[in-house]
Amino acid sequence: MNLTLKIWRQPDAVSPGAMHTYQLADVSPDMSFLEMLDVLNEQLNDQGEDPIAFDSDCREGICGMCGLMINGDAHGPEVTTTCQLHMRSFTDGETITIEPWRSDAFPVVKDLVVDRGAFDRIIQAGGYVSVNTGSAPEAHSVPVPKDDADRAFNVATCIGCGACVAACPNGSASLFMGAKVTHLGLLPQGQPERDERVVNMVAQHDHEGFGGCTNIGACTAACPKEIPLDVISQLNRDLRTAIKHGH
Amino acid sequence: MSHDSHDMDMPDTVTSTEASHSGLLDGEYDDAAGYYTPGTPLVDTKAPQGPIADRWSDRKFEARLVNPANRRKLSIIIVGTGLAGASAAATLGEAGYNVKTFCYQDSPRRAHSIAAQGGINAAKNYKEDGDSVHRLFYDTVKGGDYRSRESNVYRLAEVSTNIIDQCVAQGVPFAREYGGLLDNRSFGGVQVSRTFYARGQTGQQLLIGAYQALERQIAAGTVSMFTRHEMLELIVADGKARGIIARDMVTGEIQTHLADVVVLASGGYGNVFYLSTNAMGSNVTAAWRAHRKGAYMANPCYTQIHPTCIPVSGSHQSKLTLMSESLRNDGRIWVPKNQADCDKDPREIAEEDRDYYLERIYPSFGNLVPRDIASRAAKNVCDEGRGVGPEVDGVRRGVYLDFADAIDRLGRDAVANKYGNLFDMYARITGEDPYSVPMRIYPAVHYVMGGLWVDYDLQSTIPGLFVTGEANFSDHGANRLGASALMQGLADGYFVLPHTIRDYLADGPFEAIGEDHPAVVEARTSVTDRIEHFLSVNGTRSVDSYHRELGNIMWEYCGMERTETGLKKAIDLIRGLRDDFYRNVKVLGTNESLNQSLEKAGRVADFFELGELMCIDALNRRESCGGHFRGESQTEDGEALRHDDEFAYVAAWEWAGLDERPVLHKEDLVYTAIEMKQRSYK
């Protein structure tokens, strides 16, 4: 297939960026989207033009490093990560627009690469169980109901890619936060710090410049791991409870 | 990483070394003569003596303590934030040391441990099915084909149970039974159920657990995290590892980081093959720069290749994806009997025109032969021109894995229940529906057992340089059991290194060195010189094109089957390509910005040197063991043939300089708690 690609180019965090147009011929439908960009980069390199910077690492949909706005959709038209999107989802002659994640809290580093350090700082604020190495009790000393364990797992599959933020008109990271608060809140090990966790994570979230949630649901629709919207209800509920407890 | 090999359910027979030896006399062959220099043997591995079950407690007791008040005066650098790095950083931070941690990704949570699917072994014996520390130890040594160090493996099995406790306490959502207790499954063909798992995403859940523990220490101020930083050189001052030179990958700033001790937890080097199941950024640079500074590289040729990956679809292919080997329980592997049928729709190829080659050659084990046999057989039929799928560089590299019989026998729903997620993944990547068209599979590089040599304390041959996880060589011998990579990474990071490193740190803090120390200046200069060289060549070929060509050489001659002729040819090819690379590579842009071509250039340069050493190591080891198969060392039936009397040693290679012959130091492997046996599956 032959494609027209409109791609955001920005030399660094402070310089202004712009959309550039490239033609790419002979694209195989079996290529992944990122392999298509690899081929474009080889072409640019041959022509002496700086290759386009974009993030990716595992390329099997689990590390969360990749993430592009493709024709305005986070990770493109399928429910998957950008690395697992294949060119057979596009048609010959199509024009594809490629941008970095859209969010003030994820500033552009270069071209399609953004800084998602804010997610790490939200986890630092409380997204853990405080248990030093070696101090753990025997694993079977605390049974966990299977339903709780299964649901905790389902929401713990969040890969921290940031698609939820990029898709949200408010730039909210509530789905990301809700997933962690729900994961740890469902488990007995997460109870002692449950109140502080939600209060501190939400405070950090707001401090980073993410927007509030207005229940639009674009986040869950864009999520490659299909984290359900009700983790945000759980987040709000936990927050209300913590405030009632005097936090 | 995934469900796993069936290697382990093969019966074993005790054979005398003579019987396994096909009459070779000691020293009759020295295939690598002319490529290496013999060195002195490695005798002191710090492995404690005495009963094997007591050795680790003895070592922990003997290792000196560091007063809590002194810990904050001691600084530790950790490179890599996968299971082995993040767990160590969190634990040492909790203990009160000053820790600096580095990763090349944008967040420590991205490290490639996250992609491990299948599970983590632990000798909990929750199923009361006869498991024990000793049995996990035994299975691991046997799985490694008697090429690992028994003291280390015993310790791994011993601390495995603590790992599960720790992870559960962190909130890792392992699979549970209805009673609320942890579920286990049998894995890797072993006869006990000792594998803990979180659906097919165990690595992800364990890594997130370690990552959260690490982030907690970052918040506490005990750990400083440097993301998008890449270690480019090790600083060895006055005989000790004292720091690293790192490049800030966003600004290009070349930074000096000094410390009392350096830990490399930088993962494996499977990407020397270009295509592997590793992440795009996985590289050998941290380990290789340490090797060039005096750390021995052990058994670099030991590579694990999985038979059930999704085949290459074209020359654009950037990485390979593993599918669970459990697929071989129900799928039947075949290729057309006639080359003329290779491009036909497989459904139109008549039964009598199909060659179910594994069932034909190995009637008793059929499609369940060990993974190395299955991999080699697939390569052989493709080399004969009977492969299927798209032609890439003139060859079809794929074989069918057909579920039609299984669907007839069990019904589509039953097959979907067992393999649904794998079928979905396959369909997403290939665009083909495996319920109606046979899957295509091909082997891929997955894990490396080789790595930097370490003693029992996980310390390399450079004092003050410790190595953990896949980056070291110590626990898996010549082949790794399924669900043991996660176990080793977390064992090293949570429970082994924090004890052994304190014995070294008890002598610290070491005399402060400044940025003007000659060792620092030398390291910085070598880094900046190399970067300037890559940016100034202004040749005609991209870094990726060299990497791909190197990968092809490695795959062809140092992949599933290695021969003397092939390896010697590979060494020549690699040397030629490396010379061309330095003269003709094209790296655009500047150092002072995010420059992904520049990052890759340094990594590929190191892969060239590593690849050559892997070939020399493979050339020297004229035996077949574990993941290493030498064409010259097989039985009449094509089985791997080990030579315990000649090769029961760790090959630890010392760097002698570019274009100089590396020096081979042998560490004899002595088994006191276990008897060596030869694999057999007749």
In degrees rounded to 5, what are phi and psi of residue B591? Answer: -75, -30
Query: In what helix (H) or strand (E) does residue B340 lie, and over which residues does it extend?
Result: none
Q: Which of residues 70-129 of A touch B (CB under 8 A)?
A: 80, 84, 86, 88, 109-110, 113, 115-117, 119-120, 123-125, 127-129
Using an 8 Å CB-CB cutoff, list chain A residues near B314: 28, 30-31
Coil, helix or strand for A188? helix
CB atoms within 10 A of CB B329: 14
C-alpha–C-alpha distance, residues B427 and B439, integer Å: 9
**Residue pair B102/B263 in contact by the 8 Å Cβ criterion:** no
pLDDT score, position B283? 98
Provide the CATH topology of domain B306-445: Flavocytochrome C3; Chain A, domain 1 (3.90.700)
- Rounded CA separation A58/A65 (Å): 8
Per-residue HEC secondary structure of B611-675 comes to HHHHHHHHHHCCCCECCECECCCECCCCCECCCHHHHCEEEEEECCCCCCCCEEEEEECCCCCCC
Q: Residue B203 in contact with residue B114, Cβ under 8 Å? A: yes
How far CA A95 is from CA of A8, A20, A43, A68, B654, in Å, comes to: 14, 12, 18, 15, 54
What is the pLDDT at residue B189?
67
CA distances for B154 relative to B123, B149, B265, B491, angstroms: 11, 9, 21, 12
Q: Which residues contact A196 (CB under 8 A, 6 or more apart)?
A: A126, A242, A247
Query: Could you tell me which of A165, A153, A160 has the C-alpha nearest to residue A81?
Result: A160
The domain B75-304+447-505: what is its CATH number?
A: 3.50.50.60
What whole-number distance in Å separates Cα of residue B244 and Cα of residue B258? 7
Retrieve residue B54's tokens: 């007591």
Mean pLDDT across the stretch A54-68? 97
Catalytic residue among B135, B155, B371, B502: B371
Whole-number pLDDT of residue B25: 46
Closest-CA residue in chain A for B588? Answer: A50
Q: Which of B126, B198, B213 comes nearest A128 by C-beta?
A: B213
CATH classification number, B518-659, choose in 1.20.58.100, 3.40.50.2300, 1.20.120.1200, 3.30.960.10: 1.20.58.100
Q: Where in chain B is the domain with CATH 1.20.58.100?
A: 518-659
B371 flagged as catalytic:
yes
Residue pair B101/B108 in contact by the 8 Å Cβ criterion: yes
pLDDT in tens, B285-306: 999 999 999 999 999 999 999 9
Q: What percent of chain A has pLDDT over 70?
A: 100
Q: A 125-164 residues with CB below 8 A of B?
A: 125, 127-140, 142-146, 149-150, 152-153, 156-157, 159-160
DSSP state of B612: H
Calpha distance B623→B299 (Å, rounded): 13
The closest of A67, A26, A57 to B319, measured between CA atoms, is A57
Interchain CB contact of B204 with A (< 8 Å): yes
A window 6-35, beta carbon within 8 A of B: 11-12, 28-32, 34-35
Q: Do A116 and B227 touch (CB under 8 A)?
A: no
What is the pTM for the complete model shown? 0.96
CB atoms within 10 A of CB A101: 24
In chain B, residues under CATH classification 3.90.700.10 are 306-445
Lowest-confidence segment of A30-44, A50-64, B239-253, B413-427 by average pLDDT: B413-427
Q: Residue ranges of chain B with pLDDT lower than 70?
A: 1-28, 188-189, 679-682
Q: Is A183's CB within 8 Å of B216's CB?
A: no
Q: Where do you find CATH 3.50.50.60 in chain B?
A: 75-304+447-505
Q: Which domains does chain A have, with CATH numbers?
A: 3-110 (3.10.20.30), 116-130+142-244 (1.10.1060.10)
List the one residue out of A145, A148, A129, A146 whose CA is nearest residue A137: A129
Query: What CA–CA distance (Å, rounded) separates B231 from B168?
Result: 33
**pLDDT for B482:** 87
